[in-house]
Amino acid sequence: YSTTNIQVEGVDEADIVKTDGTYIYAFYKKQIIITQAYPAESAQIVSRILLDDITPIEMFVNGNQLVVFGTQYENGPYPYAEKMAAPGVAIDMIYPPYWGQSKTVLNVYDISNKAAPSLVKEIAYTGNYSTSRMIEDQVYVVISTYPEYRLLAESGNDESIIPMIKIDGVESPLAPPERIGYIPPIRAEQFVTIGSLNLGSLELTNETIVG
């Protein structure tokens, strides 16, 4: 069997299908299908992981761990709609009552029991998935985030445009302003975050710059 074609030896690249020689892991719509592929005469689907509102993008397999990247869209009432409306003008004529943002989800599953995978780590970045790599037990992901400048203009709070991260259900800013890097003379139009997840300890570290 073959693995994903890679550019650098020892540096794995995510893909839409992976195999360990016995099982095949593949996306089907908003599901991950785990199929026993060898021996061929007993090939069968052994489990399905339902992703609900997550659209899968790519994945890694590392021993008994499955790392899945996906996109999740979140929307809700626009927080400053009333403030931005002109006097006597209906709000929905100026701005829609809802706004939305894309999130990049990084889920880690324990697949030691192929028939019953379990979610062991759930991370959601505000922003778009750019690329990822895996070196041994270390997964690296790059996220690009475009600030919601309307929030800054209306709130007057500089921290309102800092990207958010949610780890196992707990949401917080990616970093305080003084911990976000800037490399002149690059124009600061977006945030770029590099996340590093250790699959042994499930410890996550992030570095964010503007550029």
Look up tokens 């839409």; give the residue: 16
pLDDT in tens, 116-163: 999 999 999 999 999 999 999 999 999 999 987 776 666 667 777 889
Separation of alpha carbons 14 and 5, rounded Å: 10
State pTM to two decimals: 0.86
Strands 204-210, 181-182: pairing is: parallel
Compute the radius of gyration of the chain from its Cα atoms: 20
Model pLDDT, residue 87: 56
Mean pLDDT of 164-176: 93
- Residue owning tokens 């945030």: 191
Q: Residue 5 burial (CB < 10 Å; 0-12/13-18/19+)?
A: exposed
Closest CA to 80 of 146, 148, 155, 147: 155
Percent of the chain at pLDDT above 70?
85
Residue 86 carries which DSSP code? P
The more confident residue out of 205 and 183 is: 205
Burial track 60-80 (b if 16+ CB lie within 10 A, e otherwise): bbbeebbbbbbebeeeeebee
Q: How far apart are CA 49 and CA 82, in angstroms?
A: 42
Residue 157: what pLDDT? 72
pLDDT digits (tens, 9 = 90+) for 17-45: 999 999 999 999 999 999 999 999 999 99
List strand residue ranges (DSSP E) for the chain, in order.
Answer: 17-19, 23-28, 31-36, 44-50, 54-62, 65-77, 98-110, 118-126, 128-135, 138-145, 164-167, 170-173, 181-182, 191-198, 204-210
Question: pLDDT digits over 78-120, tens only?
Answer: 555 555 555 555 555 455 545 677 999 999 999 999 999 999 9
Give the pLDDT of residue 67: 98
H runs (alpha helix) in the chain: 81-84, 91-94, 149-155
The one-letter amino acid at 40: A
